[in-house]
Chain A
Amino acid sequence: MNKPVNQKAWFFVLPVLVLVAFNAIIPLMTVVNYSLQETFGSNVFLWSGLMWFEELLRSSRFQDSLGRQLFFTFTILVIEIPLGVIIALAMPKKGPWVSVCLVLMALPLLIPWNVVGAMWNIFALPEIGLLGKTLNSLGFDYNYTRQTGNAWFTLIAMDVWHWTSLVVLLSYAGLVSIPDAYYQAARIDGAKSWAIFRYIQLPKMKRVLTIAILLRFMDSFNIYTEPLVLTGGGPGNSTTLLSIDLAKKALGEFDLGPAAAMSLIYFLIILLVSWVFYTLMMRNEEQ
């Protein structure tokens, strides 16, 4: 039997194609063009070839900000994923407290990013902030505006506060979708709580956890507003992540060529890691 062919469907895809072209493809093509040229403003372009890429890849400034970015992303993933799972496991699965817990968990996610940065900026101030003042009165020498370690501690604490909820909600959704029969079978076999977690809950949460890791990786690798408002990349350059460095280069120094080269490398790293996660996710599904 011949299948009817209706090409009209392509017209329905057209608006999406136009939208994607204008918000992704054309800007990306422009970035490629800029990355190979030098401009001093007033729309005069000079060919520079691969010079910006070479300079950038070998510059310690780029390597340092990439290193800081990787460290930041790795640290928050190591903290947020297990913490999110633990909180989800501890949350009630039935009864009136379910809604209360879910609302409380969702609250940090509803706050705009720049407000989170401003909140933590004030909260952690050593003289007047609740966190800063408390830590100092407990005998800790805490000042995130001057000390690198403290700035990193505050930055990571802020991200954990803001985004662990996402992991919690995803893990919780994975947990409540496990049929009761699995737990009953485990009880009959006399399985301990660790065995239940290891052989029932964790495998059933695998998919949502992969999505959680992917989302948190992409978000944390793109993070800009919160650290900018909290530390402004300081003290010195100690919390200047890749996105802040890129914005400094493109908007602060108006170095459009190197900034475009940096954007492309940044984009390729995100694309590679996202593809790896996507492939792993698909492989899990096939298995």
Chain B
Amino acid sequence: MEDPILFSFKWWIEPLGTWMAWTRITIAFFMFLAFAISCMAMWERAVPGGAPRHGVFAINTTRGDRLFISLLGSAFICIGWLFFFGAPLWGALLIIVAWTVFVFRYV
């Protein structure tokens, strides 16, 4: 079988063996999550200020809480988008960006 071109869509979705059924795209997804958490740690180290804040949802949130809320919200935005419009998720991605900015700024 022909090897897929580097960074082509086929390359991203190619199965990488049988253990845990990994593909490059799912590895990238989890790496993004790990990267986001690491960024939060570095942010806190560089600019301490993660004390709880009282935001528009009337709850106290730290920076970590806001990351969690934005990720959980993003998952539900994707689910909602798939239910109403189906794949692809480009529209949902725009909403997710707006949602994340909103959460980090006001929640």
Contact = CB atoms under 8 A, between A and B. Distances in A.
Given A32-B29, A54-B87, A268 B79 contact: yes
A285 to B, nearest CB: 10
Nearest to A51: B87
Interface string B1-20: 00000000000010100101
Interface in B47-81: 58-60, 68, 72, 75-76, 79
B93 interface: no
A115 to B, nearest CB: 36
Interface stretch (A11-19, A231-239, A242-250, A275-283): A275-283
B79 A36 contact: no
A37 B21 contact: yes
Most chain B Cβ neighbours within 10 Å, of A34, A57, A275 = A57
B100 to A, nearest CB: 17
Interface string B86-101: 1101000000000000
A47 B76 CA distance: 23
Contact of A33 (B22, B72, B79): B22
A34 B59 contact: no
Contacts of B25: 36
Given A32-B29, A50-B89, A45 B60 contact: no
- The B interface, classified by DSSP as helix, strand, loop or mixed, is helix
Given A29-B20, A37-B21, A265 B30 contact: no
Interface residues of B, number: 24
Contacts of B23: 33, 36-37, 47
B21 A271 contact: no
Contacts of B58: 283
Contact of B21 (A33, A58, A275): A33
Nearest to B61: A279
Interface size class of A (residues with CB under 8 A): 20 to 34
A54 B86 contact: yes
Contacts, number: 62
Given A45-B15, A54-B86, A283-B59, A265 B79 contact: yes
Contacts of B29: 32
Most chain B Cβ neighbours within 10 Å, of A33, A53, A57, A265 = A33
Nearest to B85: A54
A282 B87 contact: no
Contacts of B68: 275
Contacts of A30: 20-21
A49 interface: yes
B21 A268 contact: no
Contacts of A39: 21
Contacts of B18: 43, 45
B42 interface: no
A272 interface: yes
B86 to A, nearest CB: 5
A178 interface: no
A50 B82 CA distance: 8
Given A45-B18, A49-B13, A49-B87, 10 more contacts: A30-B21, A37-B21, A47-B13, A47-B15, A50-B87, A53-B82, A54-B86, A272-B76, A279-B59, A283-B60
29 contacts: A32-B30, A33-B20, A33-B21, A33-B22, A34-B21, A36-B25, A36-B26, A37-B15, A37-B23, A45-B18, A46-B15, A47-B15, A49-B13, A50-B82, A50-B87, A50-B89, A51-B87, A53-B79, A53-B82, A54-B86, A54-B87, A265-B79, A271-B72, A272-B76, A275-B68, A282-B59, A283-B59, A283-B60, A286-B60
